[in-house]
Chains A and B, each alone.
Chain A
Amino acid sequence: MNVEDKKLKEIFKRGMDGLNEGTPDFRSMMEKVVEGPGRRNWFSLKIAASVILLLATGVFLIVRNKGTNSENYSLTEWNEPTRELMTFSSSSSTISTWSSPTDFLLSNDIQQIKN
């Protein structure tokens, strides 16, 4: 380091020392660090709140799914939803031979049962 650099270093050091209006006390800072359970309690509280929220969401989903179970019907008992719109007459043969438009999708055995 040449003379000019040493001079600059000296100016710099004095300038920096002039900025220091008082270094905070080390011991009081460390006391705050050691006494910091409040910070950790807050962290634990956030974790606990997250777990509770997850559990509540899980319980809600389970309960909701149980309530919306659809009823199952045997195929032989099945009727077209529009059947009640038809007027049935015991003398009429047309109704007894009527088939739904989707009957062709069923196998012959099932069609016989249905009829």
Chain B
Amino acid sequence: MQATSYWKDQLESLHHESYMWCLSCCNYDKDMAKDVLQDVYLKIYEDRASFKEKSSLKTWLFSVIKYTSIDHMRKQPKHIEKLSVSHSQIPESEIEDNEKENAFTKILEFLSAQQREVLTLAFYHGLTLEEIAPLLKISIGSVRTHYERGKENFKKLLLKYNLHTEIL
């Protein structure tokens, strides 16, 4: 797919959502998200990633973003370590220190990577569970499980750290 004006318009219409998904894939590292998105656009421009119309453009684009961000993360292992930390491993005092700074990011970090991805795609980007499954290359059953557990954990974390009042 060459970056003709048609495709430029298509990409531009999805740019904000692409960046937000990219941010999520890059563990909310803004600099890395910009680099990844730039790389994704370059892949599309150079035809190294081409849209085969097997899914919607948005689903395809999100898939390219996901796997490009994985490549970037492999080059910078510190991001993988950060992502793999579960909420049970982080002391409560650490939450209290930073909750005002970035409460929502902290909650997301305590969810498992897949729960966070499924919730982001479903709640923020409005994708259906059926669309999420091929994007994350997991079965629909797994998506449903991550969705349900993610919701439960998200709810618990909001209540546990009393952060729902700050967010709302």
Contact = CB atoms under 8 A, between A and B. Distances in A.
Interface in A13-51: 13-16, 18-21, 23-24, 26-27, 29-30, 32-34, 36, 39
A57 B161 CA distance: 66
Contact of B16 (A14, A15, A23, A29): A23
B27 to A, nearest CB: 12
Interface residues of B, number: 35
Please classify the interface of chain A as helix (H, G, I), strand (E, B), loop, or mixed, using the class held by over half of its residues. helix
Interface residues of A, number: 25
Contacts of B45: 33-34
Interface in B1-47: 3, 8, 11-12, 15-16, 19-20, 23, 28, 30, 34, 37-38, 41-42, 45
A21 B105 CA distance: 13
B123 A23 contact: no
B168 interface: yes
Given A26-B11, A33-B45, A15 B37 contact: no
Contacts of A13: 123-124
B107 A15 contact: yes
A16 B168 CA distance: 12
A110 interface: no
B160 interface: no
Contacts of A105: none
Interface of A: 4-5, 8-9, 11-16, 18-21, 23-24, 26-27, 29-30, 32-34, 36, 39
14 contacts: A5-B151, A12-B119, A12-B120, A12-B123, A19-B20, A19-B28, A19-B102, A24-B19, A24-B34, A26-B12, A29-B41, A30-B3, A33-B3, A33-B38
